[in-house]
């Protein structure tokens, strides 16, 4: 039986192909079906958060545009207009089941800032306790390329981690993850179950530029990896199947189940891991990498060979190995200017160099997460 049978809190993401009508705005009948299925889950004692695409498509319809705009401002305008229709549609569909809905628009900045992260977490948990259905989307009207989630699969995974949901359900127009592109290989088989952290899944999803990656399967595999950090299982399934959510909640095996077999990260380290981009970097030598990865140690200044970017004390910085791979990230105890002065030096020399020493570590193990 699928572990979703015992999942109490679910994050459900529905893609644009499932909620829009081939470029004609929203598919109201499809959204009504989602509302019906989710209502049945709620009556069964489940708590559901919905991450939904569709705002830009609805905005294009309302504005009379036949082609998707290319400029950022036009896309943001379409999202702003379309968001009104998207929320109205969900509100009217859920009202038929006497369920309240709540619109929540998020940006990466909301989750990158610790206080805003905790506020968003508290708000979503309160909405669930009140029996409301949060309908979440990226706040496209204000976001820029530099701070975008990039896709709603990623957003769904981050929300899963945010509320510590039990499962993430990614509904798409494909049956699930195949071991090869089924459109190019007749022998391709559906992957019914795998470990979400299995490195082979990325190749199955098709690397960047492949047909499957363009269809979003690569982002779904990455979303499952992110969700697994908080102990959540992920299902990738065909959203066009009748009663797919109800069947999954009943324990039926549908689509691809990507299981979380790791111990969930603690809340503070989860927040660190969920930063999508970190501008500042510390370049480490091989000894420092071993100390972090193998021995579970803190990062000392003597193991840092270079400081890239500008940051203040308390910022989240990436830790890179000699080959340029990010191996960890954490909250730094000194500013960039100070770090440059003490790199390659033993901790005993921090005070003589800076005139003070708050901490002997550049990043303490308690404020560091391995990736």
Instruction: Tell which wins on pLDDT, 366 or 249.
Output: 249
How far apart, in whole angstroms, are the C-alpha atoms of residue 132 and residue 116? 21
| Class for the domain spanning 278-370 | mainly beta
Per-residue model confidence as pLDDT tens digits over 299-318: 999 999 999 999 988 889 99
Strands 281-284 and 304-308: antiparallel
- Residue 206, classed as helix, strand or coil, is coil
Per-residue model confidence as pLDDT tens digits over 42-53: 999 999 999 998
Give the H or E element holding residue 202. helix 200-205
Q: Name the token pair of 169.
A: 């359900």
Q: What is the mean pLDDT of the chain?
A: 88
Whether 267 has a pLDDT exceeding 80, the answer reads no
Task: Please report, for the chain, the start and end positions of each structural domain, with discontinuous segments joined by +.
Answer: 3-269, 278-370
Instruction: Tell which wins on pLDDT, 131 or 2.
Output: 131
CB neighbourhood size of 237 (10 A): 22
Per-residue model confidence as pLDDT tens digits over 190-226: 999 999 988 888 777 764 333 333 347 888 999 999 9
The highest-confidence range among 14-28, 136-150, 179-193, 300-314, by mean pLDDT, is 300-314
Per-residue model confidence as pLDDT tens digits over 323-362: 999 999 999 999 999 999 999 999 999 999 999 988 899 9
Give the rounded percent of residues in the chain with a pLDDT score beyond 90. 61
Q: Does domain 3-269 have CATH number 3.40.1160.10?
A: yes
Nearest CA to 17 among 138, 174, 156? 174
How far apart, in whole angstroms, are the C-alpha atoms of residue 132 and residue 13? 17
Check for a shared fold between 3-269 and 278-370. Answer: no
Q: Name the token pair of 221.
A: 């595999």
Nearest CA to 96 among 38, 21, 53? 38
pLDDT of residue 148: 55
Q: Name the token pair of 65.
A: 């545009």
How far apart, in whole angstroms, are the C-alpha atoms of residue 127 and residue 121? 10
How far apart, in whole angstroms, are the C-alpha atoms of residue 279 and residue 318? 8
């Amino acid at each position: 039986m699928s572990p979703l049978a015992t999942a109490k809190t679910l994050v459900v993401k529905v893609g644009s192909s499932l909620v829009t009508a081939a470029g004609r705005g929203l598919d109201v009948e499809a959204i009504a079906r989602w509302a019906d299925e989710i209502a049945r889950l709620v009556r069964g004692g489940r708590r559901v958060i919905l991450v939904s695409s569709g705002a830009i498509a609805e905005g294009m319809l309302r504005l009379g545009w036949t082609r998707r705009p290319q400029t950022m401002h036009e896309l943001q305008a379409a999202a702003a207009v379309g968001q009104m229709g998207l929320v109205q549609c969900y509100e009217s569909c859920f009202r038929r089941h006497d369920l309240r809905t709540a619109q929540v628009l998020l940006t990466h900045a909301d989750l990158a800032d610790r206080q805003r992260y905790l506020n968003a977490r508290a708000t979503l948990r309160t909405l669930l306790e009140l029996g409301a259905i949060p309908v979440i989307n990226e706040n496209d009207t204000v976001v820029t390329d530099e701070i975008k989630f990039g896709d709603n699969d990623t957003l769904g995974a981050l929300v899963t981690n945010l509320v510590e949901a039990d499962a993430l359900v990614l509904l798409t127009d494909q049956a699930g993850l195949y071991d090869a592109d089924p459109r190019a290989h007749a022998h391709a088989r559906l992957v019914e179950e795998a470990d979400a952290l299995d490195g082979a899944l990325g190749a199955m999803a098709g690397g960047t530029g492949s047909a499957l990656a363009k269809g979003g399967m690569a982002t779904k595999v990455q979303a499952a990896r992110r969700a697994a950090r908080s102990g959540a299982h992920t299902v990738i399934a065909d959203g066009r199947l009748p009663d797919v959510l109800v069947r999954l909640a009943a324990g039926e095996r549908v689509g691809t189940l990507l299981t979380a077999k790791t111990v969930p990260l603690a809340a503070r380290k989860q927040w660190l891991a969920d930063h999508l981009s970190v501008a500042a970097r510390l370049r480490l030598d091989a000894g420092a990498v071993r100390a972090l990865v193998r021995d579970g140690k803190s990062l000392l200044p003597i193991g840092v060979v270079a400081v890239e970017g500008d940051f203040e004390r308390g910022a989240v910085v990436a830790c890179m190995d000699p080959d340029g791979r990010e191996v960890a990230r954490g909250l730094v105890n000194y500013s960039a200017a100070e770090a440059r002065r003490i790199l390659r030096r033993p901790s005993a020399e921090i005070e003589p160099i800076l005139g003070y020493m708050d901490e002997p570590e550049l990043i303490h193990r308690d404020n560091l997460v391995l990736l």
